[in-house]
Amino acid sequence: MTFQGWLLIAAFVGILLLLCKPMGRWLFALYEGRRTPLHRVLGPVETGFYRLSGIDPAEEQGWRRYAVHMLIFNAALLLFTYAVLRLQGVLPLNPLGFDGTSADLAFNTAISFTANTNWQSYGGESTMSNLSQMLGLTIHNFLSAATGIALAFALFRGFARREMKTIGNFWADMTRVTLYLLLPLCVAIAIFYIASGVPQTLAGSVDVTTLEGARQTLALGPVASQEAIKMLGTNGGGFFNVNSAHPFENPTALTNLVQMLSIFAIGVGLTWTFGRAVGNQRQGWAILAAMMTLFVAGAAITYWQEAAGNPILHQLGAAGGNMEGKEVRFGIAQTALFAVVTTAASCGAVNGMHDSFTALGGLIPLFNMQLGEVVIGGVGAGIYGFLLFAILAIFVAGLMVGRTPEYVGKKIEAREVKLAVLAIAVLPLIILGFTAIASVTAAGLAGPLNKGPHGFSEILYAFTSAVANNGSAFAGLTANTPFYNGMLGVAMWIGRFFIIVPMLAIAGGLAAKKYTPATAGSFPTTGLLWTGLLIGIVLIVGGLTFLPSLALGPIADHLAMINGQLF
């Protein structure tokens, strides 16, 4: 570990906190449907969308209608992308002449990008045409991210409104987020990437002469545009197989920093928006404090373990930290920080190979995802996932003080607690259930590259990443098979939408309730005690549920390593 490494982590957190309020203010304007400076240019485009589709943006929707419209929209996008991938061989903008993908790969990929997971069982530059990358995949990077933010707005309205039956308009929320937030920011970020050396072209490849005099063909394509939204929308799907470890996706330390900030920017901004929406800014700060505490702890542990290196190699005379699977231009600190950022935010982009981390260094990205998208989380998904844990935390607090719990002016009763438990229980049920199936079947056991606890970790990581809608991988797992494409596809769909529907039901129920002012007997939900309780509930639920599987995987792997055995 070095002073520079710790300074990098501290600087990242500092810059992120400075971005919180301006991003939150912009999001709040979209939440309220107010005009922004961009309306003068993009307002006619928004109005044109509504006229073409016959949508009245002022027409409010109840939670059931909001959910149905959201599900139908995402199902239609899934089918569209599946068709694009299957027909890729006969569609234009295919300069390298790739055939259409197999049925199981198209199924997996279409669900993956619809669910904001961007799990990739393929190598992008050797599988996907430019049209598939742009029309089939990048479009989801915008729309799945916009869907997540729209859903967060719906839950905010549930807490903020009083005795109302509606939680907003899905189409209006999604359109405004896309036009006035994601699109303009991505244009600016993409221009920065192009200026930094990231390609943006419809050409398929270019032949170059290397320094050794050999001829090499380098894949190209519209990389910068996809890179911008992949990070900002916490999608993570790379144009190239090695993702942000590729110099055409992430050429410099500065682009690396911008990518990490892009991943977290909207997530932290939404905490400020929540506080403003419920009329108490301290509520937002309390959630942000809990999120950042979990994040900083994870970053510190991962950096410590990766910098410590492998004791077996040390005994052989190879001193230093663990550089296996890392880009020299980033080093240990930037790679460890990126790994924690991307898994804390359910992004899935990587600038190093998590499968090559030390056992405990790889445990933290895995555990981040098992906590349920609450350590910042995906855009929108992080904040509404954290609020589900807040409902459980206030329920526990209510048991301690002996009265019906209240949170931001709403009584949290049996219905809300049951729905929150239902949504949270989806994560361990599918992760552990599907991991168990893969660990005892021939098709599942054919996937891992390694044996023993590390091979088990590769399977566990895959299903954790899928259900948590992250998309990163212990890439030693061979996942492009009918078994894994099918199982992971189902896991991604359940992990996304089986949490959203109970969450929207909670939003609808809260919006219909009366406002309950805090009294002397109310449990405070803005101080250090509340922040500590939030962190404790998140860790206890995650720890008690997943500790046995972690003991069989990365913990056993670590104990074997310190006793001289590698897998």
State the residue for tokens 């070095």.
2
Spatial separation of the C-alpha atoms in residues 382 and 379, rounded to whole Å: 6
Q: Can you tell me the mean pLDDT for 205-233?
A: 92
Q: What is the pLDDT of residue 192?
A: 98
Element (H, E) at 7: helix 3-32
CB count, 10 Å around CB of 320? 12
Instruction: Band the pLDDT of 404: cuts 50, 70, 90.
Output: confident
- Taking the C-alpha atoms of residue 106 and residue 121, their distance in angstroms, rounded to an integer, is 10
pLDDT on residue 346 = 87
Q: What is the pLDDT of residue 130?
A: 94
Mean pLDDT within 148-174: 96
User: Would you state the pLDDT for residue 403?
Assistant: 78
- Which pLDDT band, with edges at 50, 70 and 90, does 320 fall under? confident
What percentage of the chain exceeds 90 in pLDDT?
A: 87
Decide: 426 and 499 in contact? Cβ < 8 Å: yes
CA distance linking residue 169 with residue 396, whole number of Å: 33
Q: Which residue has the higher pLDDT, 129 or 211?
A: 129
The predicted-structure confidence for 17-51, as pLDDT tens digits, reads as follows 999 999 999 999 999 999 999 999 999 999 999 99
What is the average pLDDT score of the chain? 94
| pLDDT > 80? residue 461 | yes
Q: Is 548 helix (H, G, I), strand (E, B) or coil?
A: helix
Stretch 84-98: mean pLDDT, rounded? 95
Instruction: Tell me the pLDDT tens digit for each residue of 375-389.
Output: 888 899 999 999 999
Please report the pLDDT score of residue 30 as a whole number: 97
Going by pLDDT thresholds of 50, 70 and 90, the confidence category of residue 146 is very high
Question: In this structure, which amino acid lies at residue 147?
Answer: T
* DSSP classification of residue 222: B
- For residues 471-495, give the mean pLDDT: 95
The pLDDT value recorded for residue 221 is: 93
CA distance 257 to 265: 12
Tokens of 295: 């994040």
In the predicted structure, residue 399 carries a pLDDT above the cut 90: no
pLDDT, mean of residues 136-163: 95
Let me know if 213 is exposed, middle or buried by CB neighbors in 10 A (0-12, 13-18, 19+). exposed
- Whole-number pLDDT of residue 193: 98
- pLDDT higher at 519 or 493: 493
pLDDT(542) > 80 = no
List CB contacts of 31: < 8 A, sequence separation 6 or more: 153, 156, 273, 277
* In contact, 160 and 279? CB cutoff 8 Å: yes
| Percent of all residues in the chain with a pLDDT value above 70, rounded to a whole number | 100
The answer to whether residue 121 scores a pLDDT higher than 80 is: yes
What size, in residues, is the chain? 567
Per-residue model confidence (pLDDT) at position 564: 87
pLDDT at site 316: 84
pLDDT at 517: 86
> Buried (b) or exposed (e) across 535-551, using 16+ Cβ within 10 A?
bebbeebbeebbeebbe
CA separation for the pair 256, 250 (Å, rounded): 6
The conformation of residue 215, written as its DSSP 8-state character, comes to: E
**pLDDT above 80 for 373:** no
